Structure 1
Amino acid sequence: MFTFSFNWLRRLNGKNLDLDKVINILNLQGLEVKKVTDFEEDKVVTIEVKANRPDALYHTGILREITAFNGELPPLKIEPKLSLKNDNTKFKIDIENSDICKRFSSLIIRGIKIKTETPDYIKKSLEALSINTINPVIDIVNYVMLELGQPMHAYDVNKISGNTIRVMKNKKRQKLMTLDGSETEIPEGPIVIVDNEKILSIAGIIGGIDSAITEDSYDILLESANFNEVDVRLASRALKISTPSSFRFERGIDVSGSLYAMMICADMIVEICGGVVDEVYFDQHSEYKKNILKLRKTKTNDILGTNLSLEEIIACLNKYYFKCEIYDDETIKVEIPSYRLDLLREIDLIEEVARIYGYHNIEPTMPVIKATYVKNSMWENMDKIRDIMSGIGFYEMINYSFIPANSMEILNISEDSQLYSDIILKNPISQYYALMRPTLIYSLLGNITYNITKDNRNLALYEIGRTYFRDDSADTGFKEEDVIGIIFTGVRIEKGWGILNDVKYSFYDISNYLNIIFDEFGMSYEEGKNSMPFFKEDTGVDIKVNGRNIGFYGQIDPELINKVPNGKLIQNDVMYIEINLKYVEKKNKSIKYDSKYQAITREYNFLVSKNLLVSNIIAEIKSVSNLIQKVVVRDLYDGKGIPQGRHSILLQLKYLSTQNTLSAEEVTEIENKFLDILKTKWDVSLKDA
């Protein structure tokens, strides 16, 4: 909401405005009038202003809407009388970071007469809007804010310690006696203005009493700045302090208006209170880039259901002080006024055209709906995977795509890793939800720890979600990937009737689940060693399809788990699989008839180097003959009697022919072939009985 004085508008306009017409214009412009009240000889009007329209929170902004609607020139901009040069003032201004303060302007006025009476027109204007008058300097600062939309603050120069003023985020908890007479404890985070000894003010919100203008003040420092709206909003909520200044800073301030408002304010102070302005002022700001958008005629008409020509669109925008330039027969380039912070995309401009053209002038038409069906194989595959995972006892998780800002450090992911991400949200809810995730592992580890706090310790979970990466080749500079993350820990089969001990999830359950998934899709996969930094040493494996890496799996490093919040609660091994769903495609399955002949099963106990993947051995065995129907890992042993650097792996092979019952000689012949190959190629031998 914003309340303005109708007499104030008349004084700015220099013309005899009609109240009823003004109310009608504001309603048509989306600034709905809520009430009109009398104040002496004035009319006080309250309007509803949406959060994205901070340009309508001051009298000049309201008048600009009225003159634009009437096709008149914009409100006359009064030129400041001061002629100063930009240089360091008595105080060195040190801004910690341009992100927290886009612009900071200041000047010093010396020898003012603070006991001067505030002029009646200022008093009446402020009282009409329920703002208390304090002294002429503060009254003028408030008056200029309500007229030009720029909050400012005035300090007593003689109460500032040292010669440096710093704009910074508060680093430790400390207390400040504020201008409203209350003691406020400031936590870490809010932007503060400090001198060599103390906090002078909470930036954009409220000043401190230790540097306040009083009846004894005669030298003042005037500050006009543009603070980060998110920082001000978070600080205002944390401190439970809302002021007219914070109300405006939270919504955004026109960065180009800070210096102008300060000069106008200084002019008024000198004119009313006397004094002399120092010959230099301070003005520091980041480079201002004009906001220029392209607007397409066809897109505009398609969205609005109109048939506007390029000339008509330009006429609408020119009427509201936009600068337009024809780009081609279909497109115009539009320079957005600096005070319109809400116009960032083409669709915003289209909405503005609709507002200016008039919603009442747009004829209702039936939308044209193209009922064409485009098969989305990705969604079909996702649904199929959900069916598979539910069928084997896994529960689906749904997490935010945000993870903590320090999660790359927790997961041991370095900047040169393919999984590294530095995509930080501009306005995160908190630092726990600050980074766009490049992998689902952190989110799913959080699901594990949460469930364990609820005494659910045997867990098999999965999530289908998106991961995010920088990509300079993409239009947006980023890319998204649809992936599935699978995580499991604890006991797979609990002991009970006929089962003497719990059967825990192990590393070798991973292959079982992968085989189920890929078999359902009619796909085959290969494996290769990988060194993902969050896996236990020698357990990381790449998943490959047609030579392309499409995922990875392994056992999560127990030391890493301990660094995750509540990670020490996890007492069992945790296995993790992640697959990029872009490369998972359903293949046509060929029909295989069961053989009517008897299968032959043999077991082989191999001595294998710990650096050799079991999948390589299995692939090599299967490549020898198509009569080898199945190879299953039955046991893994690493202990007494096993040479150092090796372990014993028990494989079970099933031999089967569709043509005849295999003889022992035929099986032995196949067996000798793969034993020779394994010995020659991998130094794999049979363990002595």
Structure 2
Amino acid sequence: MIVSLEWLKDYTDIKADPQEFCDRMIMSGSNLETMENVGSDMEKVVVGKIVKIEKHPDADKLVVCRLDVGQEEPVQIVTGATNVFEGAYVPVALSGSRIPGPLHGQPKKEGGVKIEAGKLRGVKSDGMLCSFGELGFTDKVVPVNQRDGIWILNGEYPLGADFAEALELKDSVIDFEITPNRPDCLSMVGMAREAAATFGEKVKHPENECKAEEGQASDYVSVEIKSDLCKRYVARIVKDVKVCDSPWWLQRRLIHAGMRPINNIVDVTNFVMLEYGQPIHAFDINSVEGRKIVVDTAEDGEKFTTLDGTERTLDDKMLMIHDAEKSIAVAGVMGGLNSEIENDTQTIIVESANFLGNSVRTTAKRLGLRTEASARYEKGIDPNLCQDAADRVCYLIELIGAGTVVGGRVDVYPTPEEPRTVKGRVSRINKVLGIEISREQMVSYFESLEMNVSGEGDDLYVTPPTVRQDIEMEEDLIEEVARLYGYDKLPVTIPKGNNEASQSYERDVKDLARDTMCALGANEIQTYSFVSPKGVDNIRIDEDSWERAFVKILNPLGEDTSVMRTVLTPAMLEVMGRNYSRNREAVRAFEIGNTFMVNLLDEKELPTESDAMSIGFYGPGEDFFTLKGAVEELLLKLGIRDLEFIPEKEYGTYHPGRCARIATKEMHYGPEGPEEELVELGIMGEVHPDVAEKYGIGTRCYAAELMMGVVTEMANLEKAYSPLPKYPATSRDIALVVDESMAVGDIEKVIASAGGKILKNIKLFDVYRGPQVGENKKSVAFALTYRHDDRTLTDEDVNKVHDKILKTLKEKLDVTLRDI
């Protein structure tokens, strides 16, 4: 919101200088972006009157002007402007003056441009006549009829007077950032209310009482609201309209607020919009068929040309203003070319209406047409402003002699907005802010913001004006007291309460999982939760699998983001495929994220959301066992022991001979006492070649997916103290030739069972397939570590247990010992 400080003084007394004003407003909660002093960067620019114009003797496009600038003798200035005429009052930059610039399309210079006397094509020129742009005004605020040529003043001014002072150009223009919860501050009256409360002054509301002739607006127009997207519609009538330029005071206010003056009628509506924050529109009554205003939605596919001359296609959700036969305006956005006010317009309808912000926002976005009016409607406007704003427009039209106001108004207001009352407590406000101020002081703060206060003792019943839509609860009242008391005056206190903070157990498990995978050389990835349903097809998930219980997106951007993911593996394979296509030789990656599934017991319930973790490897040296080792290391770090890898041949994503379900043992008590039960944690394996090919991975790749919810339940992050071993360990290696189909986990179970307490560790360190072991056979080699907790083991002790292990393997699994 651009605020002219001189304009703001029309509504409240401000004695502070611009810098102090800004500082105080910031401390009372206003967010200031920039401040600019305008009109103070002109030196020796005066008001002059052209008394004579002659042709230049040597240049067809130049003229020689003689001007009265209040000196004994007229000055002579050569100009190429085509809009000069004898008797015109103009800004004159005399020799030695300085103007903001820029000149002749050049970039604006720091410190402006100094003007010196000289000769143009042999004729003396004592300075220059100035345009709006040369005096520092941007093109967007230059009045329509002043875009080309010299600035021609509207009226008479003292000759030789300082130009900036004569036209009251000196001002401080402040740009405030208005937060979405304070649409009332998108107006001069709203900002005046804030300034008055900050400086302890009163608000002077604009005068809007019209003389008004006999007759009633209802004799000229009727209004019908057919859509609940319009809360209120006020119409007033002005006749005997005289369309012309606005007086300079009105143009100046608009220019300093960043708006271009158009004509007196349009300028008044824009002035009041800036003043009240209520957009106003005016229609030529002769273009309104049937003298009837109907507020309703457009027809789907309807064509409509707006005031900017652009034909736009409407839909049936866009709110429009119609007459008895056609559309005449896009409600809250822009009027139509077919009802535009022309120079010969005699009678106008003044519209002051309230439209729902969401509707205006959607319409403006779909049409690609955002205006000052739509920006205000989008944030929400108080419907109770409509009548005051309409009356103010009529008052100003009457004031500047632009028309005659007809009495009365047509006001359709189906459900009037009533003020709300919010309860606050003096003790609570003081406690939250850490201060001690009286009830009377708090009441004065609220009353300075034009809020009514009632109640006794500790209770405050505060009724804000309906423009303050942000005041809804006691915390809002506390904020109002805090900012008017002064944020800089609030004491610094240490918060009371328990300051101990801890992370959730689930977060601890995830953090340790991340650290472990990073230590194993893997990079963390993050992929979208919105995916394509084709992902589960690509990884060959069964048609009746729960992994197809998708949560569908109602308004997806496309099929690729039309459902919520049920598994992470497709995204992991997509990332590996992208890396492979870019010649990445090796990848180790993991992701921890949420998966979503329709509640299969009751689809009306909220979806089931679960944590999952995916892991993906490919590259030289990677195989099933390196992935298995990484999964084991991860789960062991999380305190999950007794892992089992159960072969799985029916899971379509993975190679049927290189896939395993990951499980751990859990003790529970059944009817016959303690029992062991397997708890599944996830699945892993070598990705099926057909699946890898779909993702463009031209090498063997490996993946795993863990159910992190179950992993978290089974995890044990408590560290139990275990003393360092006192006695040395002894190692033995064994290599066994077994059938290709035999699982290493089964062999490890037999070894552990036979090894007893002194067998401390079993480590698989080699798997060999080749002619030396025969067809459909493989060689697996283990390193076994033996140690006794109470004494040093002898070779005889170790050999005895080691021989028992070999014998048991032979008896139970029919393995063959291979020489190492």
Structure 2 length as normaliser, TM-score?
0.53
CA distance 1:594–1:321, shift in 2 (3 Å): farther
1: CA distance, partners of 2:394 / 2:4 = 26
Contact residue 192 and residue 200 of structure 1 kept, 8 A: no
* 1:679 matched residue in structure 2: none
Is the CA contact 2:764–2:781 (under 8 Å) kept in the aligned structure 1?
Answer: yes
What is the Cα deviation at residue 61 of structure 1? Answer: 0.3
CA distance in 2, matches of 1:556, 1:325: 75
Match status 1:166 vs 2:297: yes
Partner of 1:66: 195
AA at the equivalent of 1:29: M
Cα 1:541–1:636, aligned 2, differ >3 Å: closer, same or farther? farther
Q: Is the 8 A contact 2:234 2:352 kept in 1?
A: yes
CA contact 1:404–1:434 (8 Å) conserved in 2? no
Residue 150 of structure 1: aligned partner: 278
Instruction: Give the direction of change, closer, same or farther, for the CA distance of 1:128–1:371 in structure 2 (3 Å limit).
Output: same
- The 8 Å contact of residues 556 and 575 in structure 1, kept in 2 or not, is answered as yes
Deviations for 1:490-526, whole angstroms, at most 9, x for unmatched residues?
3243xxxxxxxxx5x55x6543211011233443265
1:263 matched residue in structure 2: 387
- Give 1:56's aligned residue: 185
1:356–1:158: structure 2 CA closer, same or farther, 3 Å change rule?
A: same
The 8 Å contact of residues 631 and 651 in structure 1, kept in 2 or not, is answered as no
Q: CA deviation at 1:279?
A: 6.2
2:354 to 224, 233, 249: 224
How do residues 435-450 of structure 1 correspond to structure 2 at under 5 angstroms?
A: 447-448=575-576
The residue correspondences of 1:128-207 to structure 2 (distance < 5 A) are: 128-130=253-255, 131-134=259-262, 138-153=266-281, 157-158=288-289, 165-166=296-297, 178-181=306-309, 183=310, 193=319, 206-207=334-335
1:84-129 per-residue CA deviation (whole Å, 9 max, x = no partner) reads: 9xxx965743x8xxxxxxx5346485986484458978x8435422
SS at match of 1:462: strand
2:278, 2:385 within 8 Å by CA — same for their partners in 1?
Answer: yes
Alpha-carbon separation, structure 2, partners of 1:160 and 1:558: 75
**CA displacement 1:447-492 (0-9 Å, x = unmatched):** 5465456433632123567889999xxxxxx999997844324324
Name the residue aligned to 1:587.
Answer: 719
State yes or no: 1:393 paired with 2:524: no
> Is 2:333–2:364's contact at 8 Å kept on the other side of the alignment?
no
- Residue in 1 that maps onto 2:730: 596
| Alignment size in residue pairs | 606
Letter in 2 for 1:491: G
Partner of 1:244: 372
Question: Is the Cα contact below 8 Å between 1:604 and 1:650 reproduced in 2?
Answer: yes
The equivalences for 1:34-113 within 5 A come to 34-35=36-37, 40=167, 45-52=172-179, 53-69=182-198, 90=224, 92-93=226-227, 103-105=229-231, 107=233, 109=235, 113=239
Code of the residue aligned with 1:512 in structure 2: it is: G
Per the alignment, residue 98 of structure 1 pairs with none
How has the CA–CA distance of structure 1 residues 423 and 112 changed in structure 2, closer, same or farther, with 3 Å as cutoff?
A: same
- Equivalent AA in structure 2 for residue 3 of structure 1: V
Question: Which string of whole-angstrom CA distances, capped at 9 and with x for unpartnered residues, describes residues 62-91 of structure 1?
Answer: 22113323556766699999999xxx9657
Deviation per CA, 1:235-289, whole angstroms, max 9, x where unpaired? 49x95x6642355456x234xx1x323334455677866679996747699x999
Residue number in structure 2 paired with 1:29: 25
Paired residue secondary structure (2:173): strand
Residue 125 of structure 1 corresponds to 250
Give the Å deviation of 1:649: 11
- Counterpart-to-counterpart distance in 1, 2:450 and 2:664: 58
Amino acid at match of 1:261: L
Given that 1:57 and 1:146 are in contact with CA atoms closer than 8 Å, whether structure 2 keeps it comes out as yes
- C-alpha distance 316-199 of structure 1, shift in aligned 2 (>3 A): same
Q: Which runs of 5+ in 2 are unaligned?
A: 40-164, 211-215, 396-402, 600-605, 667-676, 770-775, 788-796, 816-820
Cα pair distance change 1:83/1:219, threshold 3 Å: closer
Number of the residue aligned with 1:682: none
Question: Any conservation in 2 of the 1:464–1:484 contact (CA below 8 Å)?
Answer: yes
Q: Displacement, 1:49?
A: 1.0
1:224-373 to 2 correspondences below 5 Å:
224-228=354-358, 235=365, 243-248=371-376, 252-254=379-381, 257=382, 259-267=383-391, 281=412, 306=435, 316=445, 319-320=448-449, 339=467, 352-362=480-490
Instruction: Give a deviation string over 1:197-255, Cα, whole Å, max 9, x none.
Output: 9997777654553564556686787653243499579949x95x6642355456x234x
- Tell which structure's C-alpha radius of gyration is larger: 2
Find the aligned partners of 1:568 and 1:80 in 2 and give their Cα distance: 75
Q: What is the CA–CA distance in structure 1 between the aligned matches of 2:552 and 2:177, rounded to whole Å?
A: 33
In structure 2, the CA distance between the partners of 1:310 and 1:266, relative to structure 1 (3 Å rule), is closer
Aligned residues: percent identity? 18
Is the alpha carbon distance of 1:283 and 1:489 closer, same or farther for their aligned partners in structure 2, counting shifts above 3 Å?
farther
In 2, Cα distance between equivalents of 1:383 and 1:367: 31
Matched AA of 2:372: P
Aligned residue for 2:730, secondary structure, equals coil
Q: Distance in 1 between matches of 2:409 and 2:508?
A: 72
Tell me the amino acid that sits aligned with residue 297 of structure 2.
R
Contact 1:526 1:544 (C-alpha < 8 Å) held by counterparts: yes
Aligned equivalents of 1:447 and 1:560: distance in 2? 17
Q: Is the partner of 1:151 in helix, strand or coil?
A: coil
Report the AA paired with residue 719 of structure 2: K
1:519 aligns with 2:636: yes
Q: Indicate how the Cα distance of structure 1 residues 374 and 264 shifts in structure 2: closer, same or farther if over 3 A, else same.
A: closer
Aligned CA distance change for structure 1 residues 430 and 151 (closer, same or farther; 3 Å): farther
- For residues 550 and 614 of structure 2, the distance between their equivalents in structure 1, rounded to whole angstroms, comes to 20
Judge conservation of contact 2:551–2:598 (CA < 8 Å) in 1. Answer: yes
- In 1, the alpha carbon distance for the partners of 2:462 and 2:777 equals 72
What residue identity is the alignment partner of 1:391?
Answer: A
How many angstroms apart in 2 are the aligned matches of 1:409 and 1:282?
53
Q: CA RMSD of the aligned region, Å? A: 7.0
2:799 corresponds in structure 1 to 661
Greater mean alpha carbon deviation, residues 59-68 or residues 539-548: 539-548
User: How far is the alpha carbon of 1:137 from its aligned partner?
Assistant: 5.9
Cα gap change, 1:242/1:632 in structure 2, threshold over 3 Å: closer, same or farther? same
Q: Residue 371 of structure 1: CA displacement?
A: 13
Query: Residue 128 and residue 387 in structure 1: after superposition, are their counterparts in 2 closer, same or farther (change >3 A)?
Result: closer
* Equivalent-residue separation in structure 2 for 1:540 and 1:624 (angstroms): 22
Distance 1:370 1:8, change over 3 A: closer
Residues in 2 aligned to 1:672 and 1:387: alpha-carbon distance in whole angstroms: 42
Residue type of the alignment partner of 1:514: V
C-alpha distance 316-129 of structure 1, shift in aligned 2 (>3 A): same
Q: What amino acid sits opposite 1:596 in the alignment?
A: T
Matched residue SS, 2:385:
helix
- Provide the rounded CA distance (Å) in 2 between the counterparts of 1:325 and 1:445: 67
- What is the correspondence of 1:555-594 to structure 2 with a 5 Å cutoff? 568-570=695-697, 575-578=703-706, 579=708, 584=715, 585=717, 587-588=719-720, 590=722
Deviation (angstroms), 1:8: 6.9
